[in-house]
Amino acid sequence: MSRFSPALVTLIADTREQDEYSFDSRLVAVERRALPAGDYSVAGLEGVVAVERKTLDDFVSTVIHSRERFRKELAKLADYRAACVVVEAGLVDVLLARYRGDAHPNAVLGSALSIILDFQIPVFFCSSRQAACQFVQAYLLAAHKRWHT
């Protein structure tokens, strides 16, 4: 049982999450603890629902240079009822190479498509950190409403 108000949905932020989102405190409470996969989940659904958050630079670095490690994480997430990768940038930012490193935009886009097609995990390009935060909160609240017991 959560130590937070029962009116609030409790979201879990992984202890390794370095730049935690600030969610709407009128709707959710946040607990920090280790998650089996992903950066965010819903209390009671930690092995069922997860969101992997990435800045654009981190996404590019991960899919290009840390590909094998990330594929292991994606394999875990593929077993979840609902999982996604949220990128704090728009697709146009990928196509215009607005990131650090010399990865070709087609390689980055191809990696995103590989995540979607190989693992059936959607990748959402959310245009900005603020938009990504709102999306993650809405996604997790919808999952809570649908599957919380």
- Domain containing 101 — which CATH number? 3.40.50.10130
Task: Identify the helix (H) or strand (E) that includes residue 129.
Answer: helix 129-147
Let me know if residue 33 belongs to a domain.
Answer: no
pLDDT in tens, 45-83: 999 999 999 999 999 999 999 999 999 999 999 999 999
Which tokens go with 145? 């409403």
Let me know if residue 19 belongs to a domain.
Answer: no
Let me know if residue 25 belongs to a domain.
Answer: no
CB atoms within 10 A of CB 110: 12
Let me know if residue 116 belongs to a domain.
Answer: yes
Q: Which domain holds residue 98?
A: 47-147
Instruction: Output the pTM of the full model.
Output: 0.93
Domain count, the chain: 1
Let me know if residue 127 belongs to a domain.
Answer: yes
pLDDT in tens, 34-47: 999 999 999 999 99
Let me know if residue 6 belongs to a domain.
Answer: no
